[in-house]
Structure 1
Amino acid sequence: MQPAIGKGDVSLDVNPKDIKKSDKGLGIKPRKRFWKTFKEQKLLYMMSLPFVAWVIVFKYVPLWGWTMAFQNYQPERSFWEQEWVGLDHFIELFQDDRFYLALRNTLAMSIMGLIVGFIVPIIFAILLNEVRLKFFKRTIQTVSYLPHFVSWVVAAGIVTKMLSIDGIVNDLLMKLDIVDKPIQFMANGKIFWIIVTLSDLWKEMGWNSIIFLAAIVGIDPQLYEAAKVDGASRLRQIWHITLPGMTPTIIVLLVLSIGHLISIGFEKQFLLGNPLVIDYSEVLDLYALNYGIGLGRFSYGTAVGIFNSAMSIILLLLANRLSKKFTNQSVI
């Protein structure tokens, strides 16, 4: 039996078919509803057109070049005159030992950069938020943001000079009697990954902390006031209020960062590396440059690029699935 409904009660019994037919009941066809919405938001659509056009022209149109990976591409020939070779370039790629060496270097530096370069900005943002003197806080922010605007050409020159035999690092180590003779940092492949990771941390730590600071600012101040009333210390407030409030932002950025584990570029490795550490500095993008474009093998370089893109998509989808399963938060 249905419960009796009083004068002031509202029935929650809704027929799903009635919901589907609601628009028809109002006499609004889907096409008319679309144009009505378009007219109401015409200005927003017009504002988005340049960005949509930019994405199409510079992101989707170049994907036509992926066909080169299945050809023996020759620049002087037209598209219809190219020799199609199927998956030959991919087979050659997976049979090359240098490819697996580059893949190892890429994953190693990516994982190190993800661990250090992701956790440290979070800690830095939390500590910076605890600074109460505004002038001191702004000074720290400015100093930490500046390296981001320095190009890697200049940054690599600074790092190389500091770590050279007559650089400030060796000079300091020798004056403190930690070492007897200068260390050739830039010629030691075993520490090259550490040099790249710390250089990237110095350059991007402040900039990467901005979004975490924004997440902290968005936390309700009343939560901190209630915690103070309950006698919670600053450390307890950080652990039980600040970190949980930052969690959605942390998860989104972590998922996106995992999606870029393979595609890390080659600027840092190219500028900081040298022939003595090539077995540790050559990443996939640098491998594509050296053995693809550098040798005029555009098809082979394109095959490496497709592998990078495919792996990035797989990692992104996998990270997003795990995030949705364990935290019930999804990026895509």
Structure 2
Amino acid sequence: METVKDVIRIGKPLSRGNLRKNLKHWQLMLFILIPLIYLLIFKYYPMLGAQIAFKDFKPQLGIWGSEWVGMKHFDAFFQSYQFERVLRNTFVISLYSLIAGFPIPIILALLLHSMRGKRFKSLVETVSYMPHFISTVVIVGMIMQLFNPHIGLAGVVSQSVFGQPLPDLFGSPGSFSHLYVWSGIWQNAGWGTIIYAAALAGVDPAQHEAAQIDGASRFKRILYVDLPAIMPTITILLIINAGNMMSVGFEKVFLMQTDLNLRSSEIISTYVYKVSFVQGSNFSFASAIGLFNSLINMVLLLIVNGVTRRMGGSSLW
């Protein structure tokens, strides 16, 4: 029996007979319908609300009844004294997270794959996966307790070893990005190795055997056998991460913010929250900022995807 895929592949027109035959499998089509409805309701329908960014939204008038003002809110954001600060902070933290955090799961996955002792390998995997399941609130609380200059472990060690108290890192604008990025790496590095471990599981053992016969060391086998095997996966994940580069997580940044480190911790997502709920109810202004941030992510995604495609590597399209 010819399926729809077969008809399209061989170039035959989809006749009524073929369509009727495929409709007999309506139970399978229902499985496609469920995620399609989910996408339409929760992903595409909310896009209609993006027009708030071009209107003076008033709840009593609704989205469609509010006055159209064009680029008014975008111009207000571009001319705001906060524009340069929040854009710079968001970009710096995102780029820092990408540069420092992206290679570590790859390195960890390669090291775990080359381990011989199964028990030790399982122990390392379990220990590295565990922080991922700790909630953001608990992670931030742990960081605050650890780096407390008076009662924290780091503060006590600094006082005992160096004879001087630890500086207040949460009150230092220069320390915020380091605390945010490296605590995130500690929390998610182990979990990030799962995809690479799955890709490494598909490497043909005969390649390693041939490399060993040729006298290749373990490091060279990692470099010339394992790494090229997962390179398509690395490229795809790099493109996806680049597309989300400006979408720094709101919860963790907001919990780590203090009045002293606000100069380096105010990012687009926290600024949108404050404009929407703390400093007033300017939903149109907040929507304009969020739409601008999404446009930057889309441009970065297109650029990175185009660069990887021209270099002959894998790409999303």
TM-score (structure 1 length as normaliser): 0.88
**Contact 1:293/1:301 (CA < 8 Å) preserved in 2?**
no
Q: CA offsets, 1:210-249, max 9 Å, x none? A: 1111111111111001001111110110111111111000
Name the counterpart of 1:73: 57
Match 1:135 to one of 102, 107, 119: 119
Q: Deviations over 1:151-210 (max 9, x none)?
A: 101110001110111210121122222x52221111111111011000100111111111
Distance, in Å, in 1 between the alignment partners of 2:257 and 2:97 is 17
SS of the aligned residue for 2:125 comes to: helix
Does the 8 Å CA contact 1:99/1:287 hold for their aligned counterparts?
no
Measure the CA separation in 1 of the matches of 2:21 and 2:227: 40
Cα distance 1:138–1:301, how it changes in 2: closer, same or farther (>3 A)? same
Contact 2:154 / 2:166 at 8 angstroms: preserved in 1? no
Correspondence for 1:317: 302
Match of 1:182 in 2: 166
1:249 maps to amino acid: T
Distance 1:34 1:160, change over 3 A: farther
2:109 to 125, 135, 138: 125
Deviates more, 1:289-298 or 1:267-276: 289-298
- Give the counterpart of 1:86 among 54, 70, 85: 70
Distance 1:180 1:78 in 2: 59
Distance 2:311 2:17 in 1: 38
Shift of residue 42 of structure 1? Answer: 4.2
In structure 2, what is the equivalent of residue 257 of structure 1?
241
Instruction: Please give the secondary structure, in 1, of the residue aligned with 2:102.
Output: helix
Residue of structure 2 in register with 1:155 after alignment = 139
- Residues in 2 aligned to 1:34 and 1:115: alpha-carbon distance in whole angstroms: 52
The yes-or-no answer on 1:296 pairing with 2:302 is no
**Using the alignment, how far apart are the partners of 2:281 and 2:203 within structure 1?**
54
The Cα shift of 1:267 comes to 1.4
Q: Could you tell me how far apart the structure 2 residues matched to 1:239 and 1:157 are?
A: 39
CA distance in 1 between counterparts of 2:22 and 2:83 reads 50
Give 1:274-285 correspondences, 5 Å limit: 274-285=258-269
Task: Tell me whether 1:201 sits opposite 2:185 in the alignment.
Answer: yes
Once the two structures are TM-superposed, the CA of residue 55 in structure 1 deviates from its matched residue by 1.1
Please give the per-residue CA displacement for 1:30-51, whole angstroms capped at 9, x wherever unaligned: 3438626844764442212211
Deviations 1:4-40 (A, max 9, x none): xxxxxxxxxxxxxxxx9x85xxxx5334386268447
Q: Percent identity?
A: 34
Structure 1 runs of 4+ with >6 Å offset: none
1:100-119 Cα shifts (integer Å, max 9, x gaps): 20111111011110011111
Residue 306 (str. 1) matches residue 315 (str. 2): no
Residues 261 and 312, structure 1, Cα contact 8 Å, conserved in 2: yes
Task: With the length of structure 2 as denominator, give the TM-score of the two structures.
Answer: 0.92
The aligned length equals: 307
Cα gap change, 1:216 to 1:29, in 2 (>3 Å): closer
Further displaced range: 73-82 or 97-106? 73-82
The CA RMSD over aligned residues, in Å, is 1.8
Q: Which runs of 5+ in 1 are unaligned?
A: 1-19
Contact 1:189 1:280 in 2 (8 A): yes
- C-alpha displacement of 1:257: 0.4
Tell me which of 211, 221, 231 is aligned to 1:247.
231
SS at match of 2:75: helix
- Say which of 157, 178, 194 aligns to 1:172: 157
Q: Which amino acid aligns with 1:278?
A: L
Please give the alpha-carbon distance, in whole angstroms, between the structure 1 residues aligned to 2:98 and 2:287.
26
- Which residue does 2:212 correspond to in 1? 228
Cα separation, 2, equivalents of 1:51 and 1:229:
49
